[in-house]
């Protein structure tokens, strides 16, 4: 296993993408969207004083997400992104992992594949602690060891032109670089050298999965305290389209729930919403304006409360709570004072699952579309991130909207039952994401044609 090829003599720069520019000026000409100008108003969630590059894709979004995946490479991408962890049940215990937990004070000895040096036991392992935030702010689904092994091949190598990399290679490079930036280059290098890539990836994967289990359990169990349901919120399998209010929060705008046949079709999975048809819980006041899909997108009170619950703590999220007391929140533990696209997408995934009747949370998607009791959460997650990446300027108000509610005191803000199922109805209409994209592209064209 080769060690990371860090450019050790490069000047320290604010972010992975900015570091990529140092000593590699030729890359700026090859990919101006990535190695572009620096906007001092954009900040990293863990290091708010440090600028990150402006222009899509933003530093929280792999450049590869701007491409359509097809053929062998697309199949490789699909397979690589399948995290092989087992499904989680809403009724399961909060964490069954035997991996060390910083909160629990567990300790464990690690060995490295590089030099076979042993790492001494230590309480509250720092990498384990940091790993718990990565699913929320880095990526919930990406296969960590693949990102490390593949990204390591290209990171910091001035002989490699980004234009010569495939879509998959860019994807791994971007996530590798963002992980280096997120953890800090010195810390990242020390841990990789001491543990080896495989053990390092295992710690991150275990920590990420434990926090995901905690969040799934917490949002499912406390959903009734985050939204004023008029009727009692039932057990998990009786939610979704079996429950009037859950149905109205889950259903995309194209489905008329006053039509009993539509409601029955949704309940019986005859009609299955697309992963990129936005549910109403994503919209401010739970209302979507189909003439302008971006209005209110990702601004609902319930979605914000889910974000507050995960990042800040339950006491500030619950309806009627005075917000006092409680332990330090997840964001404060890791010095995070602003959100990013990944965190918003993560909250959408957690909320969608909590509202649904799906009994298990799967980290891998079904082979085709949605299946009974198995929504394609990976595709949903990446569709949201890609929208932020492709339309950064159009969706610019969303991140400050979140920051003002989660981090009001932060000095820096990012602008940033039939036994024989009927045949499914194939939805041939454009998805909400497609229509939203068309509207914002049209706005761009109109702005470009205006006299300066």
**Tens of pLDDT, residues 243-262:** 999 999 999 999 999 999 99
Residue 16 and residue 181: Cα distance in Å, rounded? Answer: 6
Q: Which single residue is written with the structure tokens 């974000």? A: 307
Distances 279 to 226, 275, 297 between C-alpha atoms, Å: 17, 9, 10
How far is the CA of 247 from the CAs of 39, 186, 263, 440, in angstroms? 41, 48, 9, 28
Q: What is the pLDDT of residue 446?
A: 82
pLDDT (0 to 100) of residue 157: 87
Give the pLDDT score at 325.
58
| CA 278 distance to own-chain centroid | 16
Residue 95 in tokens: 């964490």
Please give the tally of structural domains in the chain.
1
Residues in CB range of 401: below 8 A, 6 or more apart: 299
Tell me whether residue 47 is in a domain. no
In a domain, 246, yes or no: yes
Largest separation between any pair of C-alpha atoms in the chain: 67
Task: State the residue for tokens 């998805």.
Answer: 431
Q: Which residues of the chain have pLDDT under 70?
A: 1-125, 323-326, 368-372, 411-428
Structure confidence at residue 402 (pLDDT): 97
**Separation CA 59–CA 49 (nearest Å):** 15
Residues 6+ apart with CB under 8 A from 205: 83, 85, 131, 144, 145
What span, in angstroms and rounded, lies between the C-alpha atoms of 340 and 347?
A: 11
User: For residue 32, how far is the Cα from the chain centroid?
Assistant: 25
Residue 120: inside a domain: no
DSSP conformation class of 240: G
pLDDT of residue 64: 46
Q: Is 23 domain-assigned? A: no
Kindly provide the b/e burial profile for residues 98-116, where b requires at least 16 CB atoms within 10 angstroms of the residue's own CB: ebbbbeeeeeeebebebee
**Structural domain containing residue 401:** 218-418+427-449
State the Cα–Cα distance between residues 286 and 299, nearest whole angstrom.
9
Tell me, yes or no, whether 211 lies in a domain.
no
- Express the helix, strand and coil content of the chain in percent, nearest 5 each: 45, 5, 50
């Amino acid at each position: 296993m080769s060690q990371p090829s860090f450019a050790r003599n490069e000047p320290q720069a604010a972010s992975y993408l900015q570091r990529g520019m140092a000593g590699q000026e030729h890359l700026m000409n090859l990919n101006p969207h990535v190695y572009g100008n620096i906007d001092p108003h954009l900040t990293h969630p863990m290091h708010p004083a440090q600028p990150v590059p402006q222009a899509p894709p933003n530093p929280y979004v792999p450049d590869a997400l701007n491409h359509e995946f097809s053929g062998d490479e697309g199949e490789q991408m699909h397979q690589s992104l399948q995290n092989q962890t087992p499904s989680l049940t809403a009724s399961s215990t909060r964490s069954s992992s035997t991996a060390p937990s910083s909160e629990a004070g567990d300790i464990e000895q690690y060995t490295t594949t590089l030099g076979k040096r042993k790492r001494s036991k230590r309480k509250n392992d720092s990498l384990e602690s940091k790993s718990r935030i990565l699913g929320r702010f880095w990526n919930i689904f990406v296969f960590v060891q693949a990102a490390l092994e593949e990204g390591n091949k290209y990171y910091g190598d001035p002989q490699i032109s980004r234009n010569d990399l495939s879509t998959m290679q860019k994807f791994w490079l971007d996530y590798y670089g963002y992980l280096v930036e997120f953890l800090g280059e010195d810390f990242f290098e020390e841990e990789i050298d001491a543990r080896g890539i495989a053990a390092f990836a295992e710690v991150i994967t275990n920590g990420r999965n434990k926090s995901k289990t905690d969040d799934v359990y917490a949002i499912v169990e406390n959903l009734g305290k985050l939204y004023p349901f008029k009727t009692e919120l039932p057990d998990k399998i009786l939610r979704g389209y079996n429950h009037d209010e859950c149905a109205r929060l889950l259903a995309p705008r194209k489905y008329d729930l006053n039509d009993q046949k539509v409601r029955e079709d949704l309940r019986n999975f005859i009609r299955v919403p697309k992963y990129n048809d936005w549910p109403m819980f994503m919209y401010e006041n739970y209302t979507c304006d189909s003439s302008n899909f971006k209005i209110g997108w990702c601004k609902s009170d319930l979605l914000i409360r889910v974000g507050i619950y995960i990042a800040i703590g339950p006491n500030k999220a619950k309806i009627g709570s005075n917000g006092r007391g409680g332990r330090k929140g997840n964001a404060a533990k890791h010095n995070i004072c602003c959100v990013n696209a990944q965190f918003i997408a993560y909250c959408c995934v957690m909320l969608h699952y909590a509202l649904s009747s799906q009994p298990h949370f799967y980290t891998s998607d079904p082979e085709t579309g949605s299946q009974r009791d198995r929504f394609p959460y990976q595709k949903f997650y990446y569709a949201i991130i890609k929208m932020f990446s492709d339309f950064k300027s159009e969706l610019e108000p969303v991140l400050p909207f979140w920051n003002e509610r989660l981090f009001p005191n932060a000095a820096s803000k990012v602008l940033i039952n039939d036994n024989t199922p009927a045949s499914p109805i194939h939805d041939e209409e454009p998805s909400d994401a497609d229509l939203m994209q068309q509207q914002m592209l049209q706005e761009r064209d109109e702005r470009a044609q205006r006299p300066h």
